[in-house]
Amino acid sequence: MLTIEGKEYELKLTIGRLKLIEKATNGTSAMALLATDASGMMAITSLERFFAYGLKEAGADSFVAPQKGIELCDAMLEEAGYAACVQAVHEAIMHDSPFLFRTE
C-alpha cells in the first residue's frame, strides 16, 4: 500500500499492465525499463510510466488515468523519495508478475 497526498493507492503490475507500459514506451521491454544501469535504479521517466499504468486507489477496480498516475508518482517522489518509489515498483512487479524472474 502506498500513501500519496493522504490517499491510499496500490501498484498492480500484471502482464496486461506491463504490455501497456511497453506500448507507451515504443516497445521497450519492462525489464529494460527496470534496470537501465547496474544499480537497478531506473530513469524517472520510466518510473513514471510504471505509476501511470499500474496505479489504482486501494480497493478500486479501475486504474487511475495515466496522467494522474504520473502526477501522483511525482508527488510520491517529493514526499517519500526516489528509492521508495523504485522499491514500490520492484515489489509490485515481483508480486504481480513473478514469471519475469523464473529461470526454469
Domains in the chain: boundaries: 2-101
Euclidean distance between CA atoms 4 and 39, whole angstroms? 26
- Predicted confidence at residue 37, as pLDDT, reads 63
- Predicted confidence at residue 16, as pLDDT, reads 95
Half-sphere exposure of 33 (CA within 13 A, CB side): 24
| Ramachandran class of 50: left when φ > 0, alpha when ψ lies in -120 to 50, beta otherwise | alpha
* The three three-digit cell numbers of residue 101, written as one number: 524472474
Regions of the chain short of the pLDDT cut 50: none
C-alpha to C-alpha distances, 46 to 8, 29, 34, nearest whole angstrom? 22, 11, 8
Contacts of 52 (CB under 8 A, 6+ apart): 21, 24, 66, 67, 69, 70, 73
